[in-house]
Amino acid sequence: MNPTPPRKALGRGLDSLLKPTPAQLSGLHPTTSDAPGLAQVPVSMIEANPMQPRRSFTETALQELAASIRQSGILQPLVVRRVRDRFQLIAGERRLRAARLVNLTHVPVQILTVNDAQALALTIIENLQREDLNPMEQARGFAALSQKFNLTQEEIAERTGKDRTSIANYLRLLKLDPEVQALVEQNQLSMGHARALASLETERQISLARRSIESGWSVRQLEKILQPAPAQPEKTPPPIDPNVKAAQEELEHALGTKIRIRDRNNRGSIEISYSNLEEFQRIFDMFVKS
């Protein structure tokens, strides 16, 4: 398997968040590289990062990475920091998990001297630059940068290399009901489905999310269902025949109340309006006693 060229490790604008210093390497196994901060450390001394935004790891992809490591070794060092007498992972959790699958005892690492806040920023940004995070993991990563570092969407875009509009769309996913978020994380709903559902109230979100999955709706089909029905134009009443209008006015004058004649092909009805019981009695008497 040909190794993928290493990406720019930690993104644009990171020097404003982090200025790493070379680690002290005493007691560690040095690598053949003379780059400062690189070492071989025991796998057993590396702890997972509790601030890791990634929650799902595909078993098939891990097995493929493990097979590559078994054949060619780890080509890109993990990034760690010292925490007391151990190391905490900043970047490279998939590589670490795959290394454990093939029973490696030591892995190459780059050791950075960073505080909690800097480690969190590096972990989130490194993960956000990857293409295989699901939409909810990305949304939570962007939210963490916004909340913990008080960064605007423009500043997050600068540091992660993402488009600001995309960041806003991901953050909207956090308005989804937890059940719908779980469906997105399980790849049962796409980013497009999630965006369409995000503006709905909770019960409708859940109902339409389930129906989308059961019916296999595309994003376009879901959006079409969510479109409001076109407003029906108000029906204008047909013009009144001049003879009918004249008869209606004559009756109104004779009875002293509002009259409506409904005529269609010389058949119809006469509607007499009254506003109270006294008026009804007056009109009734006019017909009965006439």
38 pairs with which residues across the strands? 110
CA-based diameter of the chain, in Å?
Answer: 121
State the catalytic residue, choosing from 59, 93, 154, 155: 93
Whole-number Å distance between alpha carbons of 14 and 149: 13
- Active site (annotated) includes residue 131: no
CA angle 13, 15, 18 (to 5 degrees): 125
Whole-number Å distance between alpha carbons of 107 and 77: 8
Q: Which helix (H) or strand (E) holds 79?
A: strand 78-83
Question: Which SS3 state, helix, strand or coil, does residue 283 take?
Answer: helix
CA distances for 128 relative to 76, 82, 233, 248, angstroms:
18, 23, 49, 76
Q: Catalytic residue positions?
A: 93
